[in-house]
Amino acid sequence: MKESFFQRKGVKTFLASLISIMIGMVAGIIVIIVVGLTNSTIADSTIWDGIRLVVMGVFSKGRDAVGNLTFGFNPAFFGNMLFRAMPLILTGLSVAVAYKTGLFNIGAPGQYLAGICATLFVALSIPTSSVAPWIVWTLAFLAGMLAGALWGCIPGLLKSLLNINEVIACIMTNWLAACLVTWAFDVSSLKNVIEGTKTGYIYKTAMIINDYELGGVVGVAGPELPEGATLLATRGNVATAKMGLDRLFAGSQVNGGILIAIVFAILLYVIMEKTTLGYQLKACGSNRHAAKYAGIHDKRNIVLSMGIAGAMAGAAGSLYGLSGNTEFFWATYQSLPAVGFTGIAVSLLAVNNPIGVIFSGVFMSFLNVNGLQLTNQTAYNENITDVIISVIVYLSAFSMLIRSLMEKKKEKPKTASSGEVKA
Amino acid sequence: MDDPSQGNSDYVIEMNHIRKEFAGIVANDDITLQLRRGEIHALLGENGAGKSTLMSVLFGLYKPDGGEIRKNGQVVKINSPNDATALHIGMVHQHFKLIEVFTVLDNIILGAEDTKFGFLSRKEARARITELSEKYGLRVDLDAKIEDTTVGMQQRVEILKMLYRDNEILIFDEPTAVLTPSEIDELMKIMKNLAAEGKSLLFISHKLNEIMEVSDRVTVLRKGKYVGTVNTKDTNKQELSNMMVGRPVQLVVEKGEAVPGDVILDVSHFSVPSRIHSRNAVSDVSFQVREGEILCIAGIDGNGQTDLVYGLTGIEKSNGGTVSLCGRDITRLSVKKRGEDMSHIPEDRHKHGLILDFTLEQNMVLQRFLEAEFQNRQFIRFNAVREYTQELIERFDVRSALGPLTRARSMSGGNQQKAVIARELDRNKKLIVAVQPTRGLDVGAIEFVHSELVKERDAGKAILLVSLELDEVMSLSDRILVMYEGEIVGEFDPKKVTVQELGLYMTGARRQDGKGGATA
Amino acid sequence: MAFLIRQTLLYAVPLMIVALAGVFAERSGVINLALEGMMIFGAYIGVVCMNVMVSLGWFDAVKASGNMWSMQWYVLAAMAVSAMAGCLFSMLLAFAAISLKADQTIGGTALNMMAPALVLFLVRVTAKQNILQLSSGDSATWFMVKKAMWGFEKSYKLSVMGEAFLNKVYLTTYFCILLFVVMAVILYKTRFGLRLRSCGENPQASASLGIDVIRMRYIGVMISGALAGLGGCVFAISTANCSANGEVSGFGFLALAVMIFGNWKPLPIALGAILFGLFKCIAASYSTLDVNGDGYFALANLGLNANFYRMLPYLITLIVLAFTSRSSRAPKAEGIPYDPSMR
């Protein structure tokens, strides 16, 4: 009895998500067609290219001699898809964990920023000339998670102690994080002055940054020191291990971070489904009053849940920063990282199931990569993928409801009447 | 009796052969009800007899599956409350339909507003309402917000709402359930006034005293079926009661003499702040519960019983006095620590008793999941949980579609309550706090719960029972405390006190410490 | 001083009108988290509308005629179009939240993602860059009311108040204040307002009195969308120099905060919006702020980091919420889908 029931429920959930995806894609394609037809600068052939790229841009192999799109397995795009899936899975987990505890974590962007900020500070401040890079990496990663967790705890505390709605608190802490991060980098010495081509970026963690002294003046340089300078310390040279993935997906940015994200997903699944901690968190999420009645510390669990959620979003930022070659634009006070908001979509599409988050995260990054191809190869741009994602979120707002209705109908008629008489 | 199948314009409202089903359950089966102009017509029946359904049909909230409704002999269709209002049918719902943050005035005019140049003409409305309230003796403060008014005034607001709409047929759905005795008296007077002014009243109740006092005729329903209509002056309580339950009322609990032992719960000068107003909801309460006895706290709903239980179990903080349990001071302890010696059958199973989205098995270990039996290094032992649940299901006859894997939400209310009781009794604690443990249960289930509680008592448990049902109080308890406005106003031996006497204490007419009225 | 008042109003007015937009939805019982998205959409449509009018040569015609006042009709027209666009966009939320009984927070979040994505997509396809601007001229040249328009000589020196309220101002500001008052009166003094508010408190009671809750909620959300779209347009005209780039600097979310600490009531909302406007104004221009005109830049001389001032509105929101959350009263039924079978 148990097996078939759960199997059917799982299948139904999967189908519902699949339908959401299909409708989202169709909506995106309709936008492409409508815009293409109404805009005189877009040729009809471009519309067809656009549709194909939205659906399978990952398989794009560029244009052939006569300008037609060609498709096939492209290891670089596949690798990049996995690379981009990493932060999405983690922010998705962040939203999912909070959701299980009955909290809507719209604060993932802020937690992500807190994570990337702490990570970059640690990774770029500790001299790797005296501390082994892998230790610096570990410290930086832990710092990122911790910063994210602390930032997540703030709305958690406000909710449990002062009963402030977590949605509004998260929105405020997002912008606070954006301002604080800008402030912190503004007064730091981590702004990239070595590769002076673009301004406004922080050092990449994989760079080699040499602090030197020349004639009593301290300066920073890349691998090449100015003549006559004495090397004081070397910083940087910190990056997540590739773990062989770079050979599998040649030419891509992918690294071991995606594996860490998957491990976290499995870990959270086990915690939520198999342990007493998960039981408590879910109890608080489903019925705070009953949890309190049963002696479960509801306030502590709210903070704890937001802390875990923050740690996940922090890890997302951290691993993104630690991939070595990503650049961080520090004056971010006017915008929030989209990956934090996309985490909501990732989680909802996966019905807040940590294992499902892995797949929906990969799917969202699949859309992202498709979108980039759209920008590169047509007159369209990648924002269409966000339109598709928002449609999917919109559908999930009521698909969850429909699923729970289906479930209820299944169980009810079998109940033999006994005990109560309807008043 | 008149032939119910013929339209007859002696009647202002006739409901003929009404049938209404809900998902296979027949709530109304061929029910006929005829209301004369200017009479007070009582509709009597137990919980679940179909009274509320019938009235909802009349008020347009439900569409009947069969039968017809006539007004003044003409067949009418009532598909919505709007239609009912157009036919001048009004209803005071059991749970008042009021907007708490609106003023009394706004509540009365809502839905029937007059406007001038598009603006509400509150001035004219005020004049009309004042006139109505004087005519029928309905005292209200038009500028008070509903949330600041008493339940009695809220009910008068509901009545004024009907009068403001010129309703002729007034339905009262269990209007006395929430009132104090003096408010009940006042309501009875108002109802007679209304009838005297030519309004026709339908009065739903299961309280025989009120029916005998105020009604002209009574229609009795039982289990969704029509039993009969009688003139009040030609009948008596016993007959009505027999019609209502189909057998003489007998609520007898088989139990022997109590053998009280050591003190288990010792409550001393205990106070709990109110969640609503600035006064204490429970003030300076002292009592003890011994092993092997059932101590019952009786009282009308809302006199601090709920807050007392919250304070004792640790759900809310207390602000004075001490509580000790099994010799340990638990005044400042957490819910969990208190739970080591106390189990608690809560008043509201949906709010506190169960997590409706959890399965039955998950609900069964709500307090116990951290015990070694159910977890191993913080990993839940699912097999142990399932076996345990299975055992409880069998022992307490909890019925559900999927056994331990049933979602609590999909279970019937009676089985939900049984599940909660099973869990709490099996925790095997010295003190059992049971708040309205039989609420919403049918007779068979009530008997089962009562006998279980007596069994626990005989096994040496201390039981603190909070009940609003005087029958239950009288038959189950070994000692009775009456609570009134947050204080204990009397202690009684159920064998030596009458229901009438308890009533006097419950309504504040008497108290034993001599502060009010005469001493017992 | 005049600058400070003018600038504060410029920020406060969109906040105020959008917060009131939130009130209409939430008082009818629907949480409108999508204020931001509706503003973004309204702002975009407003700018598109202006661009169309520029390309039709209407603005140049006005300039040629010399009577800049008639330009204001076009501004109002653009606002009306934005309001309609916002209203249409809000139907998405209304449909999900009311008809499908969806989770309102998620539905709102979806719209908040959809609006910037769609707008940026369209902007980039049509404008070939990340921002859509007027093809000629800007807000200041076309829409700003200057003292010359009142018939004052260029050399005439206005009083501080005159300078603050008459010179270099936008008509949108005053139009919005008027609209705010009108809408507040509708909410409290009319049959419609009374019924709308009842649906957000106790829809079952409203239904028992013959009020069509579903319809009232639809209307509430649509008014909300219209006001938010209009607010977006005002934002674009008066603070974003008539440009649209798929964001409104988080004004929609700030408006949400203003609404919450205004306790869902118009007057406190107006005051809250002014407070916020002040802080936004300080954050934007603290370094050049010279309150009493003595050439002393008090705030700049404090030496605080710009980011501190940027954080202030958000920080203040949290602090105010911390103090008021216990006494604040959201409409009782907000966020709960109305189910006629529940009684």
Encode pLDDT of A46-99 as tens digits: 899 999 999 988 898 888 888 888 898 999 999 999 999 999 999 999 999 999
Q: In this structure, are residues A222 and A207 in contact, taking their beta carbons and an 8 Å threshold? A: yes
Question: Phi, psi (5° rounding) for residue B269?
Answer: 45, 50
Q: What is the mean pLDDT of residues A135-140?
A: 96
Cβ-based neighbours of C323, under 8 Å, separated by 6 or more: none
pLDDT at site C246: 87
Q: Do C318 and A381 touch (CB under 8 A)?
A: no
Domain harbouring B55, CATH code: 3.40.50.300
Q: What pTM did the predictor assign? A: 0.87
Instruction: Name residues 11-70 of chain B within 8 A of C (Cβ).
Output: 56, 59, 61
Q: Which residues of B touch C332 (CB under 8 A)?
A: 100-101
Q: Do B106 and C208 touch (CB under 8 A)?
A: no
As given in the structure block, the two tokens for residue A255 are 């690294």
Question: Phi, psi (5° rounding) for residue A61?
Answer: -120, 35
Q: Which residues of C touch A95 (CB under 8 A)?
A: none
Q: Do residue B191 and residue B104 come from a single domain?
A: yes
Residue that is written with structure tokens 């999941």 in the block: B369
pLDDT digit string, tens, across residues C245-302: 888 888 898 899 889 878 899 999 999 999 888 888 888 877 776 666 666 676 666 7
Domain boundary among B428, B443, B473: B428
Q: Do residue B47 and residue B138 come from a single domain?
A: yes
pLDDT at site B2: 46
Burial of C322 (0-12, 13-18, 19+ CB in 10 A): middle
A31 sits in which H/E element: helix A2-38
pLDDT at site C292: 64
Q: Which residues of B touch A407 (CB under 8 A)?
A: 407
3-state secondary structure of C47: helix
Pick the CATH number of C2-324 from 1.10.101, 1.10.357, 1.10.3470, 3.40.50: 1.10.3470
Residue B2 maps to a domain: no
Q: Do residue B46 and residue B132 come from a single domain?
A: yes
Q: Which residues of C touch B119 (CB under 8 A)?
A: 189-190
Distance, in Å, from the CA atom of A146 to the CA atom of A159, rounded to the nearest integer, reads 20
Q: What Cα–Cα distance (Å) separates residue C52 from each residue in A141, B340, C59, C74?
A: 51, 74, 10, 11
Q: Which residues of A touch B412 (CB under 8 A)?
A: 415, 417-420
pLDDT digit string, tens, across residues B241-254: 778 766 544 556 77
Burial of B269 (0-12, 13-18, 19+ CB in 10 A): exposed
Residue B5 maps to a domain: no
pLDDT at residue A4 tops 70: no
Q: What is the mean pLDDT of residues B505-512?
A: 76
> Mind giving me the DSSP string for C289-307?
--TTSSS--HHHHHT--HH
Count of positions (residues) in chain B: 520
Q: Do A394 and C308 touch (CB under 8 A)?
A: no
Cβ-based neighbours of C154, under 8 Å, separated by 6 or more: C147, C148
Residue C335 to chain B, least CA–CA distance (Å) = 17
pLDDT at residue A211 tops 70: yes
Distance, in Å, from the CA atom of B44 to the CA atom of A67, rounded to the nearest integer, reads 85
Residue B259 maps to a domain: yes
Residue that is written with structure tokens 């047929």 in the block: B169
Between strands B479-484 and B487-492, the pairing is antiparallel
Q: In this structure, are residues C180 and C16 in contact, taking their beta carbons and an 8 Å threshold? A: yes
Q: Which chains touch A (3 or more CB pairs under 8 A)?
A: B, C
Q: How many CB pairs under 8 A join A and C?
A: 145
Q: Do A287 and B351 touch (CB under 8 A)?
A: yes
Domains of chain C: which residue ranges?
2-324
pLDDT at site A411: 46
C206 touches chain B (CB under 8 A): yes
Distance, in Å, from the CA atom of A302 to the CA atom of A102, rounded to the nearest integer, reads 9
pLDDT digit string, tens, across residues B443-498: 677 888 898 999 999 999 999 999 887 778 888 999 999 998 889 999 999 888 87
pLDDT digit string, tens, across residues B301-330: 778 899 999 999 999 999 999 999 999 999
Which chain C residue is nearest to residue B115, measuring alpha carbons? Answer: C191
Q: Do residue B162 and residue B114 come from a single domain?
A: yes
Residue B420 maps to a domain: yes
User: Residue C286: which region, alpha, beta or left (left: phi > 0; alpha: psi -120 to 50)?
Assistant: alpha
Q: What is the mean pLDDT of residues B115-120?
A: 89
Q: Do residue B319 and residue B377 come from a single domain?
A: no
Cβ-based neighbours of B152, under 8 Å, separated by 6 or more: B179, B180, B183, B186, B187
Mean pLDDT is lowest, of A339-353, B138-152, B495-509, C196-210, for B495-509
B91 touches chain C (CB under 8 A): yes
Between strands A230-236 and A208-214, the pairing is antiparallel
B409 touches chain A (CB under 8 A): yes
Architecture of domain A17-194+241-408: Orthogonal Bundle (1.10)
Residue B294's domain spans which residues?
A: 251-341+431-520
DSSP state of C169: B
Residue that is written with structure tokens 């949605």 in the block: A167
Q: Do C210 and B85 touch (CB under 8 A)?
A: yes
As given in the structure block, the two tokens for residue C331 are 């409409």
Q: What Cα–Cα distance (Å) separates residue C252 from each residue in C43, C95, C227, C256, C262?
A: 12, 21, 12, 6, 15
ipTM of the complex: 0.89
Q: In this structure, are residues B267 and B285 in contact, taking their beta carbons and an 8 Å threshold? A: yes
Residue B143 identity (one-letter amino acid): D
Q: Which residues of B touch A418 (CB under 8 A)?
A: 397, 399, 412, 414-415, 445
From the CB of residue C329, how many other CB atoms can be counted at a distance below 10 Å?
12
Domain boundary among B245, B262, B285: B245
As given in the structure block, the two tokens for residue C327 are 């006494």
Q: Which residues of C touch A391 (CB under 8 A)?
A: 110, 114
B379 touches chain A (CB under 8 A): yes
Distance, in Å, from the CA atom of C133 to the CA atom of B304, rounded to the nearest integer, reads 66
Domains of chain A: which residue ranges?
17-194+241-408
Mean pLDDT is lowest, of A174-188, A288-302, C227-241, C329-343, for C329-343
Distance, in Å, from the CA atom of B485 to the CA atom of B488, rounded to the nearest integer, reads 8
pLDDT digit string, tens, across residues C31-79: 999 999 999 999 999 999 999 998 898 888 888 887 888 888 899 999 9
* Number of folded domains that form chain B: 3
Q: Do residue B330 and residue B361 come from a single domain?
A: no
pLDDT digit string, tens, across residues B7-38: 456 789 999 999 988 766 788 889 999 999 99
Domain boundary among B372, B396, B428: B428
User: Residue B284: which region, alpha, beta or left (left: phi > 0; alpha: psi -120 to 50)?
Assistant: left
As given in the structure block, the two tokens for residue B185 are 């008296």
pLDDT digit string, tens, across residues A320-335: 999 988 889 988 888 8
Count of positions (residues) in chain A: 423
A419 touches chain B (CB under 8 A): yes
Question: Phi, psi (5° rounding) for residue A64?
Answer: -85, -170
Between strands A60-63 and B462-467, the pairing is unpaired
CA B62 to chain centre: 23
